[in-house]
Structure 1
Amino acid sequence: MLIVPLTWLAATPAQAEDDNYQQMLHYLTQTRMDGQALSEAKGVVGVNMAAGDLNQQANVHAIAIGDRAAIQVRTGQSRTANVATAPDIASASIGGRAMQSAQGIFSINQASGTGNAELNVVTAALARQGIREAGDAWIAAASASAGGTASPAPSAAAGKERSVAVESTAMQEVRGVVQLNQVAGSSNATANQLHLSISQPVQ
């Protein structure tokens, strides 16, 4: 008589299922603007989208009008001694009919991952002719910082997936100013700035 332990027969398929389940467990971070989001929007719009840990974002808009109009923008964000797990798959995208036929000023930050910093700045100063001029120091007043150092083990990101995209169907016929930062990964710092200084004739 041949006796086969039942525990051995049950263990084999259970182990295979566990292996398949583990392969499906990935840490996924994703930000996506889709559908008809912000389509035909008008005016001043700021959007911050983040998926993951320790991400920092800011939209800054400032307008000054007057005889001695002037603007200075200073921003600061910081983080120290924080620990987070980098995602296996990170993506940031804009698709669908998002922002179709929109008009105005649009400042958008999309971050997917860990420890990223993003900044948008728009300033406009309308002053009488000859009152003031914008110098390099004024333009450089805004900055972004990841607030930390690079990963001590860059090779740890090997085999991980990172992607950013603006699909061809999105942002069609947009008019005005569009600022877009898209980041997928870790410890990235991005910024875009638009500074206008307009003089009007003295009356």
Structure 2
Amino acid sequence: MRIATCLALGLLAAAPVLAADDYPAMLGYLTQSRVDGNAFTGASGAIAINVAAGDLNQQANLRAIAVGTHAIADVDVRQSRRRDFATSPDTATAVIAGNTLAGASGIASINQASGAGNASFNAVSLALAQQGIRESDDDSSLSAAFASAGQQHGFEHGGATSNRRVASVESTALQGFEGVLQLNQVAGSGNDTGNTLAMSIQAGP
């Protein structure tokens, strides 16, 4: 089991030419998830990205936003699996490259997985409450934001592991992004990852 997220330049080199004797390697089980090019460049607002390669992967993006005199936002995430069986890939790669999300802004939640039996989630809860009665000093005009997550994970892969695993964000990606960025990036099998963010704001009189 391994989770890896890193920033690197040119981390993925060109694949070597396989000789005739390496033909069996070409028949291996390969999984690759990749976000590249100008994907989401300059995008703004609520951005949700789920990318998976392999078997039995779970992903989710959830947002709750409430605005009002009395505002409450609540997010509750629960993922569950039982008695899953799958073959772990010989090579698993998860890469974010190019100009992905360059110059973007807002709330960006990314779940990227390559492998088998991985569970990922993102949760954002925002509440903005306007002050109802200026003379009031009680809690009636306050905002409340709650975010919780629970996972039950029972993936079984029979002891098999990937021979090569790469999880990377290249240096050209995400440049100039402004706002809230959530990233779960997994290459492997049987991993659980998650992000939560809860914010409560009370506007002034």
Greater relative contact order: 1 or 2 (C-alpha under 8 angstroms, separation 6 or more)?
Answer: 2
Tell me by how many angstroms 1:150 deviates. 5.6
Amino acid corresponding to residue 149 of structure 2 in structure 1: A
> Does 2:52 match 1:50?
yes
Counterpart among 178, 181, 202 of residue 178 in structure 1: 181
Shift of 1:65: 1.2
Q: Distance in 1 between matches of 2:179 and 2:203?
A: 22
TM-score of the superposed pair, with normalisation by structure 1: 0.80
Greater share of strand: 2
* 1:114 maps to amino acid: A
Q: Which residue of 2 aligns with 1:165?
A: 168
Unaligned segments of structure 2, at least 5 residues: 1-19, 132-138
Q: Tell me the residue number matched to 1:108.
A: 110
Amino acid at match of 1:102: A
Q: Which residue is 2:153 aligned to?
A: 147
Name the residue aligned to 2:67: 65
Q: TM-score normalized by structure 2?
A: 0.79
**Whole-angstrom CA distance in 2 between matches of 1:22 and 1:90:** 17
SS at match of 1:76: strand
Q: List gaps (5 residues or longer) in structure 1.
A: 1-16
Sort the Cα spacing of 1:28 and 1:146 in 2 relative to 1 into closer, same or farther, 3 A.
farther
Deviations 1:52-91 (A, max 9, x none): 0000000001101122211221122222222110000001
Structure 1 residues 31 and 113: alpha-carbon distance in aligned structure 2, compared to 1, 3 A threshold: same
1:176 is matched by which residue type in structure 2?
G
SS at match of 2:149: coil
The answer to which structure has the higher helix fraction is: 1
Partner residue in 2 for 1:32: 34
Aligned length: 179
Percent sequence identity over matched residues? 49
Q: Which has the larger radius of gyration?
A: 1
1:151 Cα deviation after fit: 4.5
Shift of 1:167: 0.4
Shift of 1:127: 1.7
Cα contact 1:105–1:177 (8 A) shared by 2: yes
Kept after mapping to 1: 8 A contact 2:155/2:190: yes
Q: Deviations over 1:157-199 (max 9, x none)?
A: 2x71011001011111111111110001111011111111001
- Write the letter of the residue equivalent to 2:108: F
Runs of 4 or more, structure 1, over 4 Å off, are 132-135, 149-152
Q: CA RMSD in A?
A: 2.2
Task: Give the CA deviation at 1:133.
Answer: 6.2
Separation in 2, partners of 1:185, 1:146: 18
